[in-house]
Structure formats: C-alpha cells, structure tokens
A and B are shown apart, each in its own frame.
Chain A
Amino acid sequence: MATTTLDPRADTYGRSWVLDWLTTVDHKKIGILYIVNSFIFFFAAGILALVIRSELAVPGLQFVDVETYNQAFTMHGTIMIFLFVVPVLSGFGNYIVPLQIGAPDMAFPRINALSFWLLPLGGLLIFSGYLFGGAAAEGWTGYAPLAAERFSPGVGTDLWIIGLTLVGTASILGAVNFIATIFKMRAPGMTLFRMPIFVWTMLVTAVLILLATPVLAGGLIALFIDRNYGGSFFDPSVGGNPILWQHIFWFFGHPEVYIVILPAMGVVSEIIPVFSRKPLFGYKAFVFATIAIGLLSFSVWAHHMFTTGQVLLPFFAFMTTLIGIPTGVKMFNWLATMWRGKITLATPMLFAIGFLAMFLIGGISGVMLGQPPIDFHLQDTYFVVAHLHYVFFGGSVFGVFAAAYYWFPKMTGRMLNEPLGKVHFWLHFIGFNLTFFPHHQLGLSGMPRRIADYSPDAGWTILNLISTVGAFMIAVSVLPFLINVVASLINGEPAGDDPWEGNTLEWATTSPPPPYNFDRLPPIHSERPLFYLTHGHGHAVAAGREHEVEEAEEGADEDVAGDVEKREGLV
C-alpha cells in the first residue's frame, strides 16, 4: 500500500490559512469548499422549508403572508437544487474523482477554482432579492408568463435570473473540467471499464450538464430580454409562446433530475460493495444502464407538460416508462450485490440502504406519473411534491450523507462517531417519511402544490400536521450530524489510510492525501485495484473471472494503440 511522508500542508509556506483557502487551486480544498458552501445553503433552504411546513401545519395564515410564502417555496426549491444538491455532489466529485482515477489534480485547476467561486456569488445574488423588495416568487420553475415583467415586476426575479445564469455557467465549466479530467488524467492501467462507478456516474452527469445547462442559460437570457428590453419570446399578445418556456425549462430540467440522482447512485454503488465485501454485481450492465438513463433523459422532458395539452402524449409517455428499465436494472444489481454478502451496517451503509429503500418509492411514483391519464389527476398536486422529494431527498440527499460519512475519514483523517451517525440516520429516515409519505395521499385527494392555505373542510389537516412534525424532526436530525462533524474534527479517532477496507484508489493514499495525492500507485488491473492489492488475484480466479481480467488487459493495450493513431492524426 502506498504511503507518503509528505505533510499535507507542506505547500503553504506559512501563508495565512484564509488566503490559502481563498486562492487554492487544489482539487481537494476546492472540493471541501464546495461541500461546506453547499451545506450552508442547505441549512438556509432548510429554514425556508420549515417556514413552508409551519404555515401549512393547520388551516389559516398564521406565520407569514402569501407573498412571503411564495418567495419561501421559490427560494427553497431553487437553492436546494441549484446550490445544494448539484454542487455538493460536484464537491464530492471534485475531491474523489481525481483520487479514484489516480490523478494528481483536476485537468484545469484554475477553472476549477473559478467554477466554485461563481457559486456563492450566484447564490448570494439569488438571495439578495430579499433586500430589494422581495425575492423571486414564481416557483423554482419560473414559468412564463407569470415570470414576465407585467406579472412579476420585482427586481427579485431579475436577480434570480442573473444568479441562476452564473450558477449554470459554473456547472458548465465544472462539467468541462470533469470530462477532461476523466479522459486525460487517468493513471496508467485505469481503462474506462476499470473506472469506479462513481467516476462513471460523474462522467455521464458532466455530459448531461454540458448539454442541458446551456439550454437553460439561453432560456433565462430570453426571459431576461422579455422582462427588461421589451422582448416577446413568451408573450402571446405579440406572437410569442408561453409554452416555449416550459419546453426550454424542462429540456434542461429533466436531465437535471439525473444530474442530481446519478452521482448519488454512484456513491451508493461504491458503498454497498465495500460494506457487503463483494464486487458490484454486473459492473458493465451498471455502466450501460447509467449511459442509457443519460441518453433517455433528453427525450422525456414533456412529461412535465402532459396537462398543457400541447405535447405528443404517447411518445413522451413511452420514453418516460422506458427509463424505468435501466433504473430497474440498477436496483437489481444493488440487491444482488448485497445477496450472500457479509454486510456491515456502518453509517455510510445505512444511508446507502436508505437510498435504495426511498429512491424505490420515488421511482415507483415516477412510473405512475408517467402515465398521462393518471398524471391528469396528479399533476401539480402534493403527489408530485412527494415524488420529487423521494427522488431528490430520499435519493440524492441520502446519497450525499452516505458520501459524507464514507469519505469524511479520507478528507480529514478522522473517523466520525458511529452511534451519533446512527442517531442521525434514524431521525433523518423517520422524519423524512413522516414529512413526505403523507404528501402522496394529500395529492391523491386533490391538494394542489404551492397554495399557502387550505380549507379546514378539505380533510387535509391531519396529514399536513404529521408532515410538519416530520419536517421539524428532519431539522433536529441535522444536529447530531453537526455535532458529530465538529467533535470528530477535534477529537475523532484517527482513520488511517483505509478504514473501510475500500476497493478504490482513494484509499491507497494517506488521509487526508498529500498535495498531489499519490507518491506511488498500486498496479491497476480491475475496477477494484485496492481489493486485489489486499486479497490478491486468487479471488478473481476463484470467482471464475480470470477471462475478465485478461479482457481488461487487452482493452488497455487497445487504448495505447488507439492513442498512437490519434497522435499521428493530430500532428
């Protein structure tokens, strides 16, 4: 196993640590900046969620007026998606991807720093609407014509547009960086089909960001032109088309869902094998399923628009149901990985299993919503709220916490406290289900989204009250996590290089890794280089897999041959 004697802070030469973090181009520090920044926005948007749930706990307007409520759910959705879930996963990607492919850094370290720093800037711009007469209040989807200047004259909406454009630019630059890193910086022997699944999911995610986000940027600019320069993209009275906004938004918005869920699937696919002491079942099938989901994500956007009456229902319904197939394959692969394994229920594994259990519900409700006749009833009700939270929260956020518990020892050199982690998980898991499971029934019985109040006669009161209790339980569950992080940083058990008996290269270096990550890399002959370093190749042979190892070897040789051709072609 590779070890190093380099001090992780050897390159700072006594500079102030503040300046050091502000100007760093080290992918690990930038990754941590991403994660810390994202969690700050997570707490801010979480407080907004509590405002929403408090107001809805019982009928009547008790705490905020309707305008404040509308701003709260708009900011909650925008911040959670664009400034928490996407960037926090980028943060883990930033830290982990170079380590997992045996690279010393990202391909473009300075662009990496730029794409991080655009995030807090964009986020503060979005939030600054509160200082200028009110934040945006059209929902995170910003539908035209409601978002047009005539119906939403406040400057908050303009700040929302500008902020989102900056955040989008940041993620495009980040995506360029990830793709270039994965294609150009892999260590010798790290062929594409030996890359850890997390790297694969980050690669597909980056491609989705690269191709989907610019379309949103174009739409946001068009909306800005409409609002400020008299444009008429979305104004039907002068030939514009209000449906066009929905097409643009969801052409971006549906790939965005996979941008958010694929890296979390990658995290889970790293954790389940390690804590089951088995390889991921069907590695290649998993890779192809990831690619299939990525491709399909560009042809399903209009399933968000079934009730507009302006889309071809059978086509989009068909493409949508197709997504259930690769997703189902992934689910079976995870289950088969656990089957006959030796399972340890450490906190990362708990969150990973929580992901499976909760994302399943989000997937099932997604297939239901994909059927147009059912969608006619459920569209824009709390059923959709339940569905999207089972995907974003039950899926992605469980993945984020799984990643946090799994890689914290690598990032800090300290273990997190297990009992506190388990308290966090169970509070979080129960609170989450209390909050969002009742939303299914609320939606089925007809409660629309985005209403600040409801009639006491509607029969929605008890379920709303349960949901609000659950929301506060989620808020409380964050406390053991925060205490755990702070206490472990100060006085945690030292982690060592490889506390979990990991499979992948990040565990082959020190915790935290030195500035350029590795002094020496172990040989890479499979997607589990560290496993074979520890246990030897006998296990591959025992499992009747020698041919696969050989195949991978041949693949590497083909790669080199291909390189020579490309080099000749270019010069």
Chain B
Amino acid sequence: MTTRTATADPHTGHVTAHGQSAMPTALLGMLLFIASEVMFFGGLFATYFNARASAAGEWGPPAGAHELDIVLAGVLTAVLIASSFTMQFGVWAIRRGNIGQLRLWTGITLILGVAFLLGQLYDYSTLGFGLADGVFGTTFYTLTGFHGAHVFGGTVGLTILLARAMRGQFSARNHVAVEAVSMYWHFVDVVWIAVFSTIYLLR
C-alpha cells in the first residue's frame, strides 16, 4: 500500500504530485469546447438535411438567382486546407523551440484565413439570393455564415497568437496557447470540408 500526499500551491492553485493525465488542462478545455461546437454544427447540419429531405423537386438556389460558384468555393477550400498545414508547421516549429518559424507560419495562416473570409464575402455578393429567399437560402447562409463567424474567431485567435509570438512569449516547453489555437483552427477547417461537401458536392 502506498500513501501519496499532496499539497496545494496557494499561488497557482495547482496540486503538485498529480496522479492524472498529462494533457494540459487548457488543451483539455479547448477539446471539450470543440466537442460542444461539433454538436452545434451537428444541429445546423441536421436542419439542412431535414429541409433538403422534405424539399419538393429541385434543391438549390431559388429560380432566377445565380448557381453556386463551385470553382470559387473549391479555391477557398484549398486555401483553408493549406492554412491547416501552415498552422501545423508553426506548431511543429515551436515544439522544436523555433519561435522565428512560429511567427512566419502563424502569419501565413492568418493571411490565408483572412483571404478565405474575403473570398466568402465576395461569393455572397455575387449570389443574388438572400437569407429570406426560401429554405435553401436560409440554411445555406446559416451554415456558411456560422462557419465564417468561426473562421473570424480563429483569425482573432491567430492575431493574438502572432502578437504574443512577436514578444517571444512561447518556447518549446511553454506553448499551450499555440496548441489550443491550432486545435481550434483544424476543427474549423474540418467543418468547412463538411460544409463544402454537403452544400456543393452532394447536390
């Protein structure tokens, strides 16, 4: 029989001599938050499929509006997938302690994220149908819009990350924030792949 005792450090609030898993608490928190986001998007996808299943006849933009621009959407998809890679290069860099490369890759990821958002706004401006034009319009703008909002949230996170990296606040041992933001960014990317497949490919 072993007896382990612990003391709480009143300054950090951390219990030392832990017997628990090594995943940083902040990262676990992000993972749990992403789990709730999965359910949120799951609900939105369910509304999309429900509307699609009960739609009579044609499913797509209302008559008279432009068809969806699958080429532009494909390019945007490539941009976002590329940004996931650049993000991951940044994470690998800081795990080796290379903060210069972290700055570089975070900057590139941020630019790609902003490019995606601008491309999506351009796409919206050319479509010629709106949120109020039938159930396709409603579900289309809700799905892509909420995804866009999450990309925007990701770019805010990337900006903060970049600012902190510029001040040299990360190291090989201390970069939980980089891991957390990258986890979120990959999640947003995966959601987009699902959105793209659902709306553009599964027509």
Contact = CB atoms under 8 A, between A and B. Distances in A.
Interface of A: 102-105, 107-109, 111, 172, 175-177, 179-180, 183-191, 210-215, 217-219, 221-222, 225-226, 229-233, 235, 238-241, 244, 247-248, 251, 515-518, 520-521, 523, 525, 553, 556, 559-560, 562-563, 566-567, 570-571
Contacts of B63: none
Contacts of A559: 19-20
A188 B3 CA distance: 9
A199 to B, nearest CB: 14
Q: Which 10 A-B pairs have the closest CB atoms?
A: A230-B132, A218-B43, A567-B22, A214-B40, A239-B135, A188-B4, A104-B8, A215-B43, A231-B138, A214-B39
Contact of B20 (A183, A230, A518, A520): A183
Nearest to A564: B22
Contacts of A562: 21
A213 B36 contact: yes
B30 to A, nearest CB: 9
Nearest to A104: B8
A264 B176 CA distance: 36
18 contacts: A109-B13, A176-B29, A179-B28, A179-B32, A184-B25, A184-B28, A187-B15, A188-B15, A218-B40, A231-B142, A232-B137, A240-B51, A241-B50, A244-B50, A244-B51, A553-B1, A566-B21, A571-B95
Interface string B1-13: 1111111111001
A168 to B, nearest CB: 10
Interface in B141-184: 142, 146
B35 interface: yes
Contact of A183 (B8, B21, B142): B21
A239 B140 CA distance: 14
B139 A215 contact: no
B128 interface: no
A105 B19 contact: no
B55 interface: yes
A52 B53 CA distance: 41
Given A214-B36, A218-B40, A232 B47 contact: no
B20 A238 contact: no
B134 interface: yes
A241 to B, nearest CB: 6
Contacts of A239: 51, 54-56, 134-136
A225 B133 CA distance: 12
Contacts of A238: 134-135
A186 B86 CA distance: 37
Given A104-B15, A516-B13, A233 B131 contact: no
Contacts of B54: 239, 241
B5 A521 contact: yes
Given A180-B29, A214-B37, A559-B20, A104 B13 contact: yes
A508 to B, nearest CB: 13
B157 to A, nearest CB: 16
A214 B20 CA distance: 28
Interface of B: 1-10, 13-15, 17-23, 25, 28-29, 32-33, 35-37, 39-44, 46-47, 50-51, 54-56, 95, 130-132, 134-139, 142, 146
Nearest to B43: A218
Given A185-B25, A215-B40, A221-B146, 19 more contacts: A104-B10, A104-B15, A176-B29, A179-B28, A180-B28, A187-B15, A188-B5, A188-B18, A191-B19, A213-B36, A215-B43, A222-B44, A222-B142, A231-B138, A238-B135, A241-B51, A241-B54, A520-B7, A566-B23
A180 B134 CA distance: 42
Nearest to B14: A104
Contacts of B21: 183-184, 562-563, 566-567
Contacts of A221: 142, 146
Contacts of B23: 566, 570
A176 B32 contact: yes
Given A109-B13, A563-B19, A567-B22, A229 B135 contact: no
A10 to B, nearest CB: 10
A283 B2 CA distance: 23
A130 B18 CA distance: 51
Contacts of A515: 10
A184 B40 CA distance: 25
Nearest to A245: B47
A180 B25 contact: yes
Contacts of B142: 221-222, 225, 231, 233
Contacts of A107: 25, 28-29
Contacts of A556: 19
A233 B47 contact: yes
Contacts of B15: 102-104, 185, 187-188
Contacts of B2: 553
A209 to B, nearest CB: 9
A109 B13 CA distance: 10
A176 B18 contact: no
Contacts of B32: 175-176, 179-180, 210
A521 B39 contact: no
B36 to A, nearest CB: 5
Nearest to B179: A570
Contact of B19 (A104, A109, A189, A567): A189
B37 to A, nearest CB: 7
Nearest to A522: B5
Most chain B CB within 10 A, of A186, A214, A217, is at: A214
B22 A566 contact: yes
Most chain A CB within 10 A, of B132, B138, B142, is at: B138
Contacts of B40: 214-215, 217-218
B36 A172 contact: yes
Contacts of B37: 214
B20 A211 contact: no
A521 B19 CA distance: 14
A233 B36 contact: no
A104 B4 CA distance: 17
Nearest to B33: A176
B100 to A, nearest CB: 21
Contacts of B8: 103-104, 516-518
Given A219-B43, A231-B138, A566-B21, A187 B13 contact: no
Contacts of B132: 229-232
Given A222-B47, A232-B138, A186 B5 contact: no
A239 B13 CA distance: 54
A178 B42 CA distance: 23
A247 B2 CA distance: 52
A186 B19 contact: yes
Contact of A186 (B13, B20, B25): B20
